[in-house]
Amino acid sequence: MKLSLFQPDIVWGNPQANQEALARMMREAAPSDLYVLPEMFSTGFAVEPADIAEADGSSLAWMKQMAAELKGAVCGSVATEEGGNYYNRFYFVKPNGEVVTYDKRHLFTYGNEHRHYQRGNQRTVVEFRGCRFLLQVCYDLRFPVFSRNNEKVPYDCALYVASWPSSRLPVWDTLLHARAIENQCYVVGVNRIGADPACQYSGGTMLVDAYGRTVAACPLSEPSVITVELDLQKLRDFRSKFPVLKDAD
C-alpha cells in the first residue's frame, strides 16, 4: 500500500489555483494507491465559511477526476455547505467514483469553529485495497478516546489532515506519535505550509509506524510530497506478537 502525502502552500480562498497546483504535484509524484491532501486544501482553513464553503461539489468533482486519472484514491477535507449548514468534511474518493465522508467531530472552539460548522456525529473507517483507514481532521488529534482502535471498528492507519499552526507544531509531533503507539497502527499527519489571515504554517507532514518511529517526513516550511509504503504484514505480525489492544478498556 503506497501513499503520497502532500504539503502544499495554499492560496487563500482560491480553489482553482490550489487545484491546479496540487494536480501538478500529484502527477509528478510516484504512482500511489492513496493521495492525501491537507484540511480545506482548496481554500485554506476558514472559521467563517460563508464566502468559501462549496455547495456545488466542485472540489469533490475535481477529486473524482484526479482519482480516476491517477487510478488511486484521493482524500482531504473541504468546507462544504449542505441544507443551509456548514461542514468541515473529509472526502475519501476512490478511483471508481465511490465517495466516503467524515464530518469533523471536534470543532476548534478556541477559534470559534463551533459557531459556524455542524459537528460530525460518527466515526468513519474506510477500507481500500486491503487497508482500513480511520478518517480524522486536525483538532481530532487531541482526543484519543474518539480515535481509540477497537475490535468493533478496527483500523490499520489513521489519517489526520490538518491546518495546524506553527506555534503548536511540537504538540502535533508528539500527538501523532502517541496515537500510533497507543493504537498499534500507522499514523499519517498531513499539514500545510504558508499563511492565511490568522496563522502561519510550517508543515510537519509525516508517517509514523506502530512502534512510534517516524518512517518519513517532509522538510519543514517547504512545499513538498513524500511517497511512503505501509507494510501491513509487518503491522499484523507486531500486533500478534505484542497484543496490546486486547488489554484495552
Strands 34-36 and 2-7: parallel
Sorted by sequence, the CB contacts under 8 Å of residue 66 that are 6+ apart come out as 23, 26, 35, 74
Output the pLDDT for position 248: 85
Mean confidence (pLDDT) of the chain: 96
Residue 104 a catalytic site member: yes
Q: Is 90 exceeded by the pLDDT of residue 31? A: yes
Residue 94 a catalytic site member: no
Catalytic choice (75, 131, 138, 185): 138
Q: Which three cell numbers stand for residue 192?
A: 500545510
CATH of the domain at 20: 3.60.110.10
The residue segments making up the domain with residue 53 are: 2-247
pLDDT (average), residues 4-30: 97
Task: Determine the Cα angle at 74 with ends 217 and 149, to 5°.
Answer: 65
- The count of residues in the chain is 249
Catalytic choice (104, 113, 157, 218): 104
Tally of domains in the chain: 1
Residue 39 a catalytic site member: yes
Output the pLDDT for position 44: 97
pLDDT in tens, 72-84: 999 999 999 999 9
